[in-house]
Amino acid sequence: MAKIVNEFLLYLKLSLVAMFFGGTFIAARVLSQALPPFTASFFRFLVASLFLILFLLSRPIKLPNFKLKIVFQIFLLALSGIAGYNYLLFSGMKFINASRASIIVSLNPALISILSFLFFRERINSIKIFGIILSFVGAIIVITKGQLSFMTFGNIGMGELYILGCVICWSTFTIISKLVVQEMPPLTAITLACLTGTCLLSIPAWQEGQLFKFLQFSSEIWISVFALSILGTVLAYIWYYEGLEKIGASKTGIFINFVPVWATALAILILGEQITMSFVLGALVVLSGVFLVNKK
């Protein structure tokens, strides 16, 4: 009985992880309209870093041997997955809605597979290749709103280009993470990356001129910050790695496929976003491609 309860709780947590990751697009959309991108990113990871540190201190940890190579890799993690990704995310969300952004970000598994093949010589079978092609075709449909004749850089909006930059940053972050987790536990790596990223973000955030006006922030801004920090970063990562540890990457990855579904549903319910037929078609094609890319 206890085993069944524990399994149920684990699958419930992973379902919530998908919802939390999907909710980050909603909170990012709200924050992007109220704060400059570096300032929004800084407060997200300042709060997240504090909670991650408290979590790690509550359990026995072994600090890694900080060789120059490891320090450089942590810096690259912070630069790509924390500072770079979030600057581009908040910049892009000023221009496009949450549902479209989430579908474009769903290209991550496809690009990660390509980079894993190039850098680690991981196998890509014919099913994965077809899934990668489907993912990119679906993303093109979403980006161009079904008008493929608009597929030129002169017609693609800045929002879409920023979010495509997010895909590159996150895929780079994931590839570097594969090297870093050989030297330390994943949550230790995430915490160090968040701390380093917060430091990197502090200077451009200060230059934006909003950093010390936090007492003037509305309750909506703070709710979004804490949703991104605690739900979309701390709890999501802790429970995600718990899933990886207990049921493996294949079963855990299935839940991540539902992130754009949650993002779209929450965008409709909370932000009142409208969904077009071209979006539905593109989203279905992207999700089909993601499923094939993750298929074992």
Q: What is the pLDDT of residue 49?
A: 95
289, 132 in Cβ contact below 8 A? yes
Confidence (pLDDT) at 247? 73
Share of the chain above pLDDT 90, in %: 35
- Reply yes or no on whether the pLDDT at 50 is more than 90: yes
Checking if the pLDDT of 282 tops 80, the result is: yes
Burial per residue of 169-205, b for 16 or more beta-carbon CB atoms within 10 angstroms, e otherwise? bbbbbbbbbebbeebbebbbbbbbbbbbbbbbbeebb
Torsion of CA 290, 291, 292, 294, to 10 degrees: 80
Give the mean model confidence (pLDDT) for residues 28-36. 94
227: confidence class by pLDDT, cuts 50, 70, 90: very high
Q: Alpha carbon of 268 to those of 193, 274, 285: distances in Å?
A: 33, 7, 20
pLDDT band at 249 (very low <50, low <70, confident <90, very high): low
pLDDT tops 70 at residue 21? yes
- pLDDT confidence band for 142 (50 / 70 / 90): confident
Tens digit of pLDDT for each residue in 146-201?
665 554 544 567 888 999 999 999 889 988 888 888 888 888 888 999 999 999 99
DSSP helix/strand/coil, 291: helix
Is pLDDT at 224 greater than 60 in this prediction?
A: yes
| pLDDT average, residue stretch 59-73 | 80
Q: What is the pLDDT of residues 88-132, one digit of tens each?
A: 999 999 999 898 898 888 888 888 888 888 887 777 788 888 888
Query: Average pLDDT, whole number, for the chain?
Result: 86
Say what the pLDDT of residue 168 is: 93
pLDDT at residue 150, rounded to an integer: 53
